[in-house]
Amino acid sequence: MKRSFALAAALLLVAPAALAYQVTGPVVEVTDTKIVVDKDGEKHEMAVTKDTKGAGKVKKGDKVTVQYKMTATSIEVKDAKPDAGTKGGKEAPAKK
């Protein structure tokens, strides 16, 4: 019982970190609503909100490390295409 509780607690602590990312590089653009960071020629654009810590101090050209998370805002389920070798999504009968 103690072991499963400890495992569950550890997973709860690790789970939020799994969705956290970071990018480091010079600021290409910064506004009240977004920041764009260049990492090795690849531009990373992230939204900035009133809750973003340190956003008011950043200016173009500053080297920064941005911590960010990806969160789904909506999910739409599409019809799956049948696999090759199946008809209408059902398994084909085995050949004898």
Assigned domain for 15 exists: no
Whole-number Å distance between alpha carbons of 63 and 61 = 6
Whole-number Å distance between alpha carbons of 32 and 47 = 9
Give me the residues paired with residue 20 across strands.
Answer: 69
Assigned domain for 32 exists: yes
Quick: pLDDT tens for 32-82. Answer: 999 999 999 999 999 999 999 999 999 999 999 999 998 899 999 998 877
The enclosing domain of 42 has a CATH number of 2.30.30.140
CA angle 10, 15, 20 (to 5 degrees): 135
Assigned domain for 3 exists: no
Please count the structural domains in the chain.
Answer: 1
Whole-number Å distance between alpha carbons of 31 and 79 = 39
pLDDT of amino acid 40 = 96
As a whole number, mean pLDDT of residues 10-38 equals 83
Quick: pLDDT tens for 1-13. Answer: 556 555 555 555 5
The more confident residue out of 90 and 72 is 72
Assigned domain for 80 exists: no
Assigned domain for 87 exists: no
Q: The domain containing residue 49 runs over which residues?
A: 20-71
Give me the residues paired with residue 36 across strands.
Answer: 29, 45
pTM score > 0.75 for this model?
no
